[in-house]
Amino acid sequence: MKNKRDRLFFTQLFVSQAPQSSQDRRAELEVLLAVPSAQSACGMEIRMDKKTTLEMIAAISNANGTSGFEDEVVAAIRPYAEGLGEITEDCMRNLYIRRKENNGKRPVVQLDAHSDEVGFMVQAICPNGTLRIIQLGGWVNHNIPAHKVWVRNRFGEYIPGITASKPPHFMTEQERKAPLDMKDITVDVGAVSKEEAIEKFGIRIGEPVVPDVTFTYSETTDLMVGKSFDCRLGCAAILKTMHNLAGQELDVDIVGACAAQEEVGVRGATVTAQVIKPDIAIVFEGCPADDTCVEPYMVQTAIKRGPMLRHIDARMITNPRYQRYALDLAEKLGIPVQDAVRSGGATNGAAIHLTEKAVPVIVIGVPVRYAHTHYGISAYADFDNAVKLACEILKRLDEEQIRSF
C-alpha cells in the first residue's frame, strides 16, 4: 500500500446507492455539518481553516441542484453562512447573506456566484422503461452517455441511473458515423417497462437528473475532483471571503448572493441584482480551463496559475478601470492571477452590470478543467488565491474608489 500521504483524502456526502428522500438527505446534511452549525448557534465564528474549507466545498459540490432545483445546494450553504449576518431566501431559491457589520450608509458590494449545475430533466418515459431527457444548461452530447446519475422521483428520492445510448453492437455503420443526438440518449434506472418505471420506481416527467459524482481532494497534488465546480467553487468563495473579513471594519456594505438558474440564462442574478441594488460587484466563477485544449501561446486559464480575470466574454465587457485596478493590486501583492479575452461564454456579470445605473463588475474565476461535464478538476491554491484577491479588494474599496471606475 502506498504511503498514507499519497492516498486521496476525500470528503463525501450522499453516497448511499439506495434511494434517499429529500428529508433523509436534509438530515444527513444536518449531521455532517453539525460542527459548524453548533459553533454558530453558540455565537462562535466558524474557523475557516483549510480542512473546514474543503469540507464546505465538498458539501456544496456534492449537493444535487440543477437549474430550478437548487434546494439541496441552499441547504448545504446555510450552515456555513450562519454567524455571518442575515440569511434570506426567495421563491426562486436565490440565497442572500447580508453581512452583520453592514450599516446601510455605505456603498453596497454584491458578491455573486451561482448555485445551479448543468443537468437534465425527465421529458418522457419510454415503453421499455428508459427515460428521455432534455438538457438543463450547455452540454456536448457525446460527453453525456455512460455515466452514473441521480434521478429524483415523485417521492423526493434520488435513485441511481445510467445515461445510455445504443451499444455499438447494434449500430449500423451509418449510425456509428453520425453525430449523437439528444433523442438517442436515455437514462436507464433498471425498469423493464413504462409501468414499472412509474409504479415501482416512482418516475414522473419534469423531475431533475444530476451527475452522481463525489468530491475528492489530494493533499499530494493539491487537486480537487468533483462535479458542479461551475459554480459551487464560487459559492464557497463567497462564504470564505465573508468569513475572512468577519469583524473587520470596512468602508463598504457586503451582500453575498448565491443565484439560481445561471446555466439557463443568468435568471437568478437578474433578480438578485434588482434586490441588492449594488454599487459594485465581484462575480466568482468556476471558469473553463483551456490548458489542455489550445496552443500553448493561447493558454489564458490554466490550473495552478491563479484565478482568471476576463476582459470580455459574449455578454459583458468588463469595466476596464475596475479590471485594471484588480490586476494591478494582485501584481502589487504577489497574488498569482491570469487575465483572459473570451470570445464566448457568459457569467452572472451579464445581468448585474446592466442593473439600474450600471454596475462595475469583475469576474474572479477559479479554473476548472472539463466544466459542463460530469467531472471537473481544480487546484485548491487557485480557489484560495481567488478569495485572497477578493478580500484585498474589499478592504480597499470606498465610495471614492468606486466612483473612479
Query: Catalytic site residues?
Result: 262
Please name the amino acid found at residue 203: I
- Calculate the CA 287 to chain-centre distance: 10
Helix axis angle for 229-244 and 71-81, nearest 10°, is 20
**Three cell numbers written together for 256:** 453575498
Q: Which residues contact 239 (CB under 8 A, 6 or more apart)?
A: 48, 56, 77, 80, 81, 84, 97, 256
**Is the backbone peptide bond immediately before 91 cis, with ω within 30 degrees of 0?**
no
Alpha carbons 33 and 55: distance in angstroms, whole number: 9
Whether 378 and 230 have beta carbons less than 8 Å apart is answered as no
> Which of 283, 339, 261, 293 has the alpha carbon at shortest distance from 140?
293
Which uninterrupted H or E stretch holds 320? helix 320-333
297 DSSP assignment: G
> Which of 349, 350, 382, 347 has the alpha carbon at shortest distance from 368?
382
Beta bridge pairs of residue 100: none
Alpha carbons 135 and 67: distance in angstroms, whole number: 10
**Cα separation values, 22 from 51, 53, 159, 199, 201, Å:** 27, 25, 11, 19, 16
